[in-house]
């Protein structure tokens, strides 16, 4: 568990053992990447006579509690959230924007502008949705591409605090006064709102669900971290005597000597069965189970589609405690082609059991969440650049893809024929179009303005980029 002391050095981040991070102060928000086990934070900076910000990231596997800067921000951020499967960060800023970038800090883009004081933000990975609070005490939602903005919920009488997604619900806190507040939740599909806990001696601020999905945790105005069952019973103090605790999150921080028990389908032992568990199995498909036994979910000695089906059948289920994991998690691209292959393999093995039906149905839902609604050409990154750049794009349906580079006078500089590409998101450096800044005969091109045109079937569009040497 990590939390922010909002009044200590302008915002100090504390770790699982109560130690303070050594990477500075003025921490505004935090997020945890459960796939790569890395912590992200946003901080305020004062430079050249104005306030700005930065995003920091911890080393892989939380090998130390020291963060490194990955993005400089012109406007400081109030909240940050992560979508590990698409490899994206999302954050709100003081100017009323929601921005995004890749997990390594590259390809910073502004998704939404002109919002009314957006603050706390959360990502629903399964539903491919963003949620955030605003200055009108509303919770709004949008697709991960920034489109289809809608009001999800509104506060009836209080100030909205932090929000978090757990399972098929969004949880949030409401502060009525210093000694009065509520914790509410709403179903992500039906938007039905329920009051989980009403507090009479304090107001809740930050909120989180623990790794096993069995307890609700929150910080409050009395300097405490507390927890309770989801029905509001068995409220107890976890920590007291804090100054002004704000946001809190759960991160996986397991030592070699810890022993826990998790069901076999929770392959990364984070307490919740989700697509991260699918990815971990997929990394070792076709391999003998002796090297990575935890990916052999059904225990038949081989890691194959049957193991994926067991995980898929249990997607979204909170898990109780179990055996420790020594399995290393590495980054793996999750794309429509991969999911379609899994579905085809599963259908070939289908024994018409309920487990197979549920598993295949969940894989199809996952496939739908990874397919873009429309084909689009995105801004290249970095831009300006020297000498190389990446050109991301979306394909709504399979097509032959070609990117052509033109000089400012319209002369063709380079043709990049990519061949037939499957529908999907081509955004990361491993999937986007790469241009090395050279023409068709291998000569570096001069500084200046260039244009790049994407042709995909009947679709064609053009954007501008700049080489600066």
pLDDT tens sequence across 304-354: 777 877 787 776 655 433 322 222 223 345 567 777 777 777 777 666 666
CA dihedral for 300, 304, 306, 312, sign (positive or negative): positive
pLDDT value at residue 52: 85
Residue 137: both structure tokens together: 């005490």
Q: Where in the chain is the domain with CATH 2.60.40.4070?
A: 376-467
Closest CA to 28 of 77, 100, 94, 88: 77
Phi, psi for residue 307 in degrees, rounded to 5: -70, -40
Mean pLDDT to the nearest integer, 178-200? 88
Residue 446 three-state SS: coil
Burial tier of 258 (Cβ tally within 10 Å: 0-12, 13-18, 19+): exposed
Instruction: State yes or no: pLDDT of 24 exceeds 80.
Output: no
Question: How large is the average pLDDT for residues 259-284?
Answer: 70
Give the mean pLDDT of the chain. Answer: 82
- Burial (CB < 10 A; 0-12, 13-18, 19+), residue 409, is exposed
Domain with CATH 2.120.10.30 in the chain: 2-249
Contacts of 35 (CB under 8 A, 6+ apart): 84, 85, 268, 276, 279, 329, 331
- For residue 254, is pLDDT > 50? no
The whole-number average pLDDT for the span 7-33 is: 74
Task: Give the tens place of pLDDT for each residue, 75-94.
Answer: 889 899 998 767 899 999 98
Structure-model confidence comparison of residues 346 and 164, the more confident one: 164
Residue 142 confidence (pLDDT) above 60: yes
- Calculate mean pLDDT across residues 142-169: 90
In angstroms, the first-to-last Cα distance of the chain is 46
Burial class (CB in 10 A: 0-12, 13-18, 19+), 2: buried
Q: Which CATH architecture has domain 2-249?
A: 6 Propeller (2.120)
Q: Domain 376-467 belongs to what topology?
A: Immunoglobulin-like (2.60.40)
- The whole-angstrom separation of Cα 79 and Cα 98 is 10
User: What value, to the nearest 5°, has the Cα angle with vertex 454 and ends 126 and 462?
Assistant: 105
> Under a CB-based contact definition with an 8 Å cutoff, are residues 35 and 277 in contact?
no
Question: What does the pLDDT read at residue 206?
Answer: 95
Whole-number pLDDT of residue 282: 75
Given a cut of 70, whether residue 460 has pLDDT beyond it is yes
pLDDT of residue 385: 92
Q: Taking residues 225-247, report their average pLDDT.
A: 89
Overall average pLDDT of the 150-175 stretch: 90
Q: Residue 173: what pLDDT?
A: 95
- Please report the pLDDT score of residue 407 as a whole number: 96
Of 212, 213, 241, 211, nearest in space to 225 by CA? 241
Please report the pLDDT score of residue 256 as a whole number: 33
Which residues, in sequence order, are CB contacts of 205 under 8 Å at separation 6+? 161, 162, 173, 175, 218, 219, 220, 221, 245, 246, 247
Confidence of residue 114 (pLDDT cuts 50, 70, 90): very high
pLDDT > 70: percent of the chain: 84
Burial of 25 (0-12, 13-18, 19+ CB in 10 A): middle
| pLDDT over threshold 90, residue 115 | yes
The whole-number pLDDT of residue 310 equals 78
Query: Among 1-5, 19-23, 318-322, 352-356, which stretch is predicted with the lowest mean pLDDT?
Result: 318-322
Question: Residue 148 CB: number of other CB atoms within 10 A?
Answer: 10
**Where does the pLDDT of residue 418 fall: very low under 50, low under 70, confident under 90, or very high at 90 and above?**
very high
Would you call 398 exposed, middle or buried from its count of C-beta atoms within 10 A (0-12, 13-18, 19+)?
middle
Q: What is the pLDDT of residue 166?
A: 82
pLDDT tier at 461 (50, 70, 90 boundaries)? very high
Binning pLDDT at 50, 70 and 90, where does residue 180 land?
A: very high
């Amino acid at each position: 568990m990590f939390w922010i002391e909002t009044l200590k050095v302008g915002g100090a981040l504390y770790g699982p053992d109560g130690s303070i991070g050594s990477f500075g102060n003025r921490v505004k928000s935090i997020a945890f990447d459960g796939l790569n086990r890395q912590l992200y934070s946003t901080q305020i900076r004062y430079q050249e006579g104005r306030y700005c910000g930065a995003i920091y990231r911890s080393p892989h596997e939380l090998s130390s509690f020291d963060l490194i800067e990955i993005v400089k921000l012109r406007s400081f951020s109030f909240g940050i959230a992560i979508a590990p499967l698409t490899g994206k960060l999302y954050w709100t800023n003081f100017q009323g924007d929601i921005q995004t970038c890749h997990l390594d800090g590259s390809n910073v883009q502004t998704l939404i502008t002109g919002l009314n004081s957006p603050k706390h933000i959360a990502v629903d990975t399964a539903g491919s949705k963003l949620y955030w609070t605003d200055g009108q005490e509303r919770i709004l939602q949008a697709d991960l591409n920034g489109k289809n903005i809608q009001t999800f919920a509104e506060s009836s009488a209080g100030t909205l605090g932090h929000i978090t997604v757990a399972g098929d619900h969004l949880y949030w806190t409401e502060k009525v006064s210093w000694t009065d507040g509520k914790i509410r939740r709403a179903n992500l599909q039906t938007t039905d709102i329920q009051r989980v806990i009403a507090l009479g001696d304090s107001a809740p601020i930050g909120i989180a669900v623990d790794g096993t999905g069995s307890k609700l945790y929150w910080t409050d105005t009395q300097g405490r971290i507390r927890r309770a069952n989801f029905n509001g019973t068995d409220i107890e103090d976890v920590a007291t005597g804090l100054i002004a605790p704000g946001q809190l999150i759960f991160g996986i921080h397991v030592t070699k000597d810890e022993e826990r028990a998790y069901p076999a389908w929770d392959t990364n032992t984070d307490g919740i069965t989700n697509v991260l568990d699918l990815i971990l199995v997929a990394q070792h498909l076709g391999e003998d189970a002796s090297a990575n036994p935890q990916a052999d979910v059904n225990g038949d000695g081989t890691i194959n589609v049957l193991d994926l089906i067991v995980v898929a059948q249990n997607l979204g289920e909170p898990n109780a405690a179990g055996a420790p994991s020594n399995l290393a998690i590495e980054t793996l691209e999750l794309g429509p082609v991969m999911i379609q292959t899994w579905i085809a393999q599963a259908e070939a093995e289908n024994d018409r059991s309920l487990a197979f039906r549920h598993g295949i149905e969940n894989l199809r839902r996952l496939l739908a969440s990874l397919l873009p609604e429309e084909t689009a050409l995105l801004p290249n990154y970095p831009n300006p650049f020297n000498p190389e750049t990446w050109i991301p794009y979306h394909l709504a349906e399979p097509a032959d893809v070609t990117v052509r580079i033109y000089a400012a006078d319209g002369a063709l500089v380079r043709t990049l024929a990519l061949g037939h590409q499957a529908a999907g998101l081509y955004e990361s450096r491993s999937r986007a179009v790469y241009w090395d800044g050279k023409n068709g005969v291998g000569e570096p091109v001069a500084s200046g303005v260039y244009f790049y045109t994407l042709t995909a079937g009947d679709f064609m569009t053009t954007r501008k980029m700049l080489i600066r040497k």
